[in-house]
A and B are shown apart, each in its own frame.
Chain A
């Protein structure tokens, strides 16, 4: 599904990714771990098309197509979804209105009929329940005045609605208490299927107790320095990142 080859990227003239190689197939969950500043959030944002980063080398293919050639919104409509580390507050834009616009943008792109208000409300009511999203959160402005946990749940809620092929979770666990972590993990797991893939970017192993990865990659100074199975995450938890960076 996703082939990243020798990906290099910089922000404000500073080199952050120095040659990432990563292959993700449908049905898989990959965890990207690493110390602060290793470039793991940058990798997530570059894949989503954040304009702050400049790709200076390498290639990324998504279902055989050049992902880097696509605008961020086209990537989204094609099925790439990034759950933001810091979801943006958007004053004056009603959350439900925004979700409907996003969902219909995708449906239109894929030649499906756009949902009307009634169909849409029925759908979000059903999906909202699973993620403990209250009606109030749908009626408020996007993320405005949401608690940290509410913002993260709202991200996963969007993911549940948009049903991406490739979901990238950028430190979705940061700042979540254990209850919220369970809700979020449940939401992610509910979407796991043989047709979809997930990349979980995280600093801590804790989230991986709930979203069990098939592969774990450790990033250091802009490169993947170690890859392994889920047991690698446990090893990191015990030993910290020092032994990898030293290696």
Chain B
């Protein structure tokens, strides 16, 4: 065994699930094989140029075991009364913490393991059809690693024409278990939104403390004419590693909108990949992240225009403090057939300290000739002229600064259509910022 393979071996051998239907076993085998072949990415990989994952690859991790978590402990992460919620703890669906009885009959949701090991034929067919079909298991090492361990997580299947009024929250929790060393979990989420369905969902990643590694994969199939409003909130513990990718395929005339809020974690990589796979599909990928202290936050997005007449919108904003590092890479692909594409991308970062650093790159790959693609990037400190203007009207330096920072973040936060979620994000972000600014003022 080579040295590299030896190092990778424990990641795919230990306690790997083996049960399940043949297709699932084959899929896991594929994940195992691809992860073993690819290995952990290094900074020599273009997609990971600025993101060093050696704290993960060299870390002492072991599969997370069960952990008793009370609903009380999670209260702060449940938005409003979250009429419908799916809770997954350490990669395992928790029926006790979930609340699904109020779901309309047009929505089936619950434990992915339940679907993989039995359940209705219809559901297991959907799982077989879509799991691994979007996640690019062959080329993405972390998705392959997740797939090698694929056994549980959550699924949401929305019937054709269904309109789900209340948002559905899917809460992924990492919680210390009985073992020693840092636990790793590989949560998986599969969402299939049927034709002309409408729904709103919030995907939340949280931890109850300590160091751990969450390696998540989400696959979202948006059917013809469907409207899906999606939010991701990454609020892991501050010592946690979070690597997660969301893979979306939007069919003809569908609308998929996603807002990502990255507020926690020590080393974070969010990948959002959306393919506009039918005429008239519309995709929005917006994001807001806070990187302070010594944290590292990387957002990679890909919007793949595969069909003509599709608009896409993207605004990513970051606030950086301390000696934090951030990466934004926004790829837009316009394939040869995708004429009349209208793609807009904006990316801004606000640096609160001299020690913070961001590497940002728009990456446009355009193979069609009749398209509109615009992109803009702006990195900088708070606008001195604006600060003076506000102070000249009587606001203190601190008040003026707060007003400008809140306005900067507000452009993304105000787009959240789930009010309790919007309030929770504001509260968390502003509390963290207040601590950061107090530190800056004290220095």
B407 touches A93 (CB 8 A): yes
B362 at the interface (CB under 8 A from A): no
Q: Which of A35-78 contact B (CB under 8 A)?
A: 48-51, 71-73, 75-77
A contact residues around B395 at 8 Å (CB): 73, 101-102, 105
B contact residues around A106 at 8 Å (CB): 394
B389 at the interface (CB under 8 A from A): yes
B403 touches A72 (CB 8 A): no
Bound-complex Cα distance A49 to B386 (A): 14
B393 interface neighbour in A51, A76, A91, A141, Cβ under 8 Å = A76
Bound-complex Cα distance A72 to B407 (A): 22
Closest CB in chain A relative to B397 CB, distance in Å: 7
B390 at the interface (CB under 8 A from A): yes
Bound-complex Cα distance A81 to B388 (A): 13
A158 touches B393 (CB 8 A): yes
A90 touches B392 (CB 8 A): no
B394 touches A73 (CB 8 A): yes
If the complex has contacts A73-B396, A105-B399, are A98 and B390 also in contact, measured as CB distance less than 8 A? yes
Q: Indicate the member of A93, A98, A102, A106 with the most B CB atoms within 10 Å.
A: A93
A92 touches B397 (CB 8 A): no
A101 touches B411 (CB 8 A): no
B392 touches A49 (CB 8 A): yes
Bound-complex Cα distance A102 to B392 (A): 9
A51 touches B388 (CB 8 A): yes
B391 touches A76 (CB 8 A): yes
Q: Which residue of B lies closest to A94 (CB)?
A: B407
Bound-complex Cα distance A155 to B10 (A): 67
A92 touches B410 (CB 8 A): yes
B408 at the interface (CB under 8 A from A): yes
A contact residues around B391 at 8 Å (CB): 49, 71-73, 76
Q: Which of B393-443 contact A (CB under 8 A)?
A: 393-397, 399-400, 403-404, 406-408, 410-411
B385 at the interface (CB under 8 A from A): yes
Q: Which residue of A lies closest to B405 (CB)?
A: A92
A91 touches B396 (CB 8 A): no
Bound-complex Cα distance A171 to B146 (A): 64
B384 at the interface (CB under 8 A from A): yes
A contact residues around B397 at 8 Å (CB): 71, 73
A101 touches B399 (CB 8 A): yes
Proximity string of chain B (61-97) to chain A, C-beta cutoff 8 Å, 1 when within and 0 when not? 0000000000000000000000000000000000000
If the complex has contacts A91-B411, A98-B403, are A84 and B389 also in contact, measured as CB distance less than 8 A? yes
- Sorting the interface of chain B by its residue count into under 10, 10 to 19, 20 to 34 or 35 or more gives 20 to 34
Q: Indicate the member of B393, B408, B411 with the most A CB atoms within 10 Å.
A: B393
B394 touches A162 (CB 8 A): yes
A226 at the interface (CB under 8 A from B): no
Bound-complex Cα distance A29 to B171 (A): 65
A105 interface neighbour in B394, B404, B407, B411, Cβ under 8 Å = B394
Closest CB in chain B relative to A105 CB, distance in Å: 4
Closest CB in chain B relative to A158 CB, distance in Å: 7
B404 touches A90 (CB 8 A): yes
A109 at the interface (CB under 8 A from B): yes
B contact residues around A49 at 8 Å (CB): 391-392
B contact residues around A92 at 8 Å (CB): 406-408, 410-411
B394 touches A90 (CB 8 A): no
Q: Which residue of A lies closest to B410 (CB)?
A: A92
A101 touches B403 (CB 8 A): yes
B388 interface neighbour in A50, A102, A109, A142, Cβ under 8 Å = A50
Q: Which residue of B lies closest to A101 (CB)?
A: B395
Closest CB in chain B relative to A60 CB, distance in Å: 16
A169 at the interface (CB under 8 A from B): no
A87 at the interface (CB under 8 A from B): yes
A contact residues around B404 at 8 Å (CB): 90, 93
Bound-complex Cα distance A222 to B410 (A): 43
A76 touches B408 (CB 8 A): no
B contact residues around A101 at 8 Å (CB): 395, 399, 403
Proximity string of chain B (252-266) to chain A, C-beta cutoff 8 Å, 1 when within and 0 when not? 000000000000000
Bound-complex Cα distance A88 to B389 (A): 7
Q: Indicate the member of A49, A72, A158 with the most B CB atoms within 10 Å.
A: A72
Proximity string of chain A (12-30) to chain B, C-beta cutoff 8 Å, 1 when within and 0 when not? 0000000000000000000
A contact residues around B411 at 8 Å (CB): 91-92
Q: Which residue of B lies closest to A90 (CB)?
A: B386
Q: Which residue of B lies closest to A75 (CB)?
A: B392
A131 at the interface (CB under 8 A from B): no
A96 at the interface (CB under 8 A from B): no
Bound-complex Cα distance A102 to B403 (A): 11
Bound-complex Cα distance A142 to B386 (A): 10
A51 touches B384 (CB 8 A): yes
A82 at the interface (CB under 8 A from B): yes
Q: Which residue of B lies closest to A79 (CB)?
A: B394
Q: Which of B353-400 contact A (CB under 8 A)?
A: 383-386, 388-397, 399-400
Bound-complex Cα distance A101 to B385 (A): 18
If the complex has contacts A51-B384, A101-B403, A105-B399, are A90 and B393 also in contact, measured as CB distance less than 8 A? no
Bound-complex Cα distance A39 to B383 (A): 24
Binding site for B on A (CB under 8 A): 48-51, 71-73, 75-77, 81-82, 84, 87-88, 90-93, 98, 101-102, 105-106, 109, 141-142, 158, 162
In the complex, given contacts A81-B392, A105-B395, what are 14 additional A-B residue pairs having Cβ atoms less than 8 angstroms apart? Answer: A71-B396, A72-B388, A73-B394, A73-B396, A73-B400, A77-B394, A84-B389, A88-B389, A91-B407, A92-B410, A92-B411, A101-B395, A105-B393, A142-B389
Please name the 6 residue pairs, one residue from A and one from B, whose CB atoms are nearest each other, closest first: A92-B407, A76-B394, A102-B393, A105-B394, A88-B389, A73-B391
Question: Can you report 10 A-B residue pairs in the complex whose CB atoms are below 8 A from each other?
Answer: A48-B392, A71-B397, A77-B394, A87-B389, A88-B383, A88-B389, A92-B407, A98-B390, A101-B403, A109-B394
